[in-house]
Amino acid sequence: MFIHLHQARELVTWFLVAVALSPLALCFASTTSGESVELAKVSGQLKLSGRPLGDVCLCLDRGDEHCAFGWLQEDGSFLLSNMRWYDGGAEPGQYSVHMYTGQGGPPFPEKYRDPRTSGLVLDVESGWNEFRIDLP
């Protein structure tokens, strides 16, 4: 099994091009938009009328965009994930808050289902944010 000289040169050329371009490809793959995004950890506990509310999804919105979410545990605790990266929390900034649940979920006032009527606003800062939310 012999390789002709021109075939060997062609294979070597393709190999060298692939090796030369691979670092460049890794650079482009590691950046999404050229901006670094700093996500802040967001956790806390939510209570309704003094009792923990569980099996509910807590959402942070900016304008009409859902930015972060997290499911409330039985004790009302939560840890939010980012909608784009599904990790890390939320970008620092001010958010409108709303909640939703599936059928059979715990009842809560209807106004908390819409970020425009909930009256809930969270200011997320860099680092770790721990919120205690007590709803009447």
Residues with Cβ < 8 Å from 76, sequence gap 6 or more?
Answer: 45, 46, 47, 52, 53, 54
Query: Could you tell me the two tokens for 46?
Result: 């939510």
DSSP three-state, residue 22 = helix
Reported pTM: 0.69
Residue identified by tokens 């099994």 is 1
pLDDT digits (tens, 9 = 90+) for 92-101: 999 999 999 9
Closest to 43 measured CA to CA, from 78, 92, 6 = 78
Q: Taking the domains of the chain in order of start, what are their residue ranges?
A: 1-30, 41-135
Residue identified by tokens 């939560």 is 78
81 band by pLDDT with thresholds 50, 70 and 90: very high
**Whole-number mean pLDDT of the chain?**
81
Query: Homologous superfamily of 41-135 in CATH?
Result: Immunoglobulins (2.60.40.10)
pLDDT digits (tens, 9 = 90+) for 112-131: 999 999 999 999 999 999 99
